[in-house]
Amino acid sequence: MKAKTEIKKRDWKMGLIAIWGLITILTYLSPLLNPLHLAAGIVAIVAYPVVLGINFILLIWLLYRASYRTALVIVFVIAVGWPLHSSLMGFSSTSQQPEQSDLKIATFNINYGWNIQTENRHNTASLAAYLKNHKKPDILCLQEYVPDIDEWLLEALPYANVINNRPYRTAIFTNHEVLDRGYFTFDNYENSVVWADLDIPAKGVVRVYNLHLQTNQVTDDSQKIRERGLDFDEETAKTLWGIVKNYQRAASIRVEQVNTVLEHAKNSPYPVIIAGDINDVPISYIYRKLSYGRKDTFTEKGRGLGVTYKGPLPFLRIDLILADQEFKVVRHDIIEGDFSDHKPVVAWLRW
């Protein structure tokens, strides 16, 4: 009788583990679910980090209890999602020294220069000094750029060509010859895309896209939740639901924006580099579409979480550089500093 009870208890536990494993695997489907058609994709993105964290806690608990067989099931469930996990973490153990001929590209959401244009110009000097000391970028992509920034930027980092469709907020700065250029403007000034075909001496022509995709408009709600702390009440639940709905709406708009860019890029006669602020995470449908067939400089040569956003939502990597397969990623850096609510991202490419 006791043996039967033990068997039932074990089967019951394994059944719960199996159900939990299925829930975990369903969250792994988030990059496949188009938010235009399935709100489940947004739920999966939100649930993924929570579910993954619970799995690691559960694994530690099972190992502590010496439930090794059950722990093995959890290890398997976690391992199934490795392609997703690896997009969130950089595991590069090598730091290759760039060569003079390597193409250096930087992308930075400059937040209208509010953090940089201080009275003592300290932040201005420190950002410019960093970029100068580490070799001025061959290509600098800015988002939330306004013409007022030109004075100090071009003084500190002189560029011959500024590609911008004013009053839209994306711009490409370069000294290389511009063979062609174009723009995709959306329903507001804040989000747009600028592209350019640049002639790189002794290398060839590359097409660069600078993206600033639809924002999520959840910053204020996120701040409210942080201020409330652990006090979860009806008001907090409503705020969380509002964040999910705003995210779904914005993600649906981003899908259309990305489709426009990719349709244009597939007809490019030159290798393509995509850089900018995509306002979405590496486990999203947006990221999967943009990065398909391209190298993410962070996953190639980055380390750790690669956080690029410093706002109230923590641990986000939404600023990135993607390069066609013709390019070899030599190095990836994230610049620390109080220059903006985003961190500048720099990559060196060789081809």
Distances (CA, A) of 225 to 243, 273, 307: 10, 37, 21
Task: Identify the H or E element spanning 167.
Answer: none
Rounded to two decimals, the pTM is: 0.87
Rounded Cα gap, residues 189 and 169, in angstroms: 6
Per the prediction, the chain carries an average pLDDT of 84
Residue 260, pLDDT > 90, answer yes
Nearest partner of 206 among 294, 143, 279, judged by Cα: 294
pLDDT at 147 over 60: yes
How do residues 51-82 score in pLDDT, each as one tens digit? 889 999 999 998 998 888 888 989 999 999 98
CB atoms within 10 A of CB 229: 8
* CATH class assigned to 92-350: alpha beta
Residue range 336-351: mean pLDDT, rounded: 89
- What percentage of the chain carries pLDDT values higher than 70? 82
Question: What is the structure's pLDDT at 5?
Answer: 57
Q: What are 267-279's pLDDT values in tens digits?
A: 999 999 999 999 9
Domain ranges of the chain: 2-80, 92-350
Residue 153's Cβ-count burial label (10 Å; 0-12, 13-18, 19+) is: buried
C-alpha–C-alpha distance, residues 238 and 245, integer Å: 10
Q: Are 161 and 181 in contact (CB under 8 A)?
A: no
Check: CB of residue 176 under 8 Å from CB of residue 144: no
Using the predicted structure, report yes or no on whether residue 133 has a pLDDT greater than 70.
Answer: no
Contact 128, 156 (CB under 8 A): yes
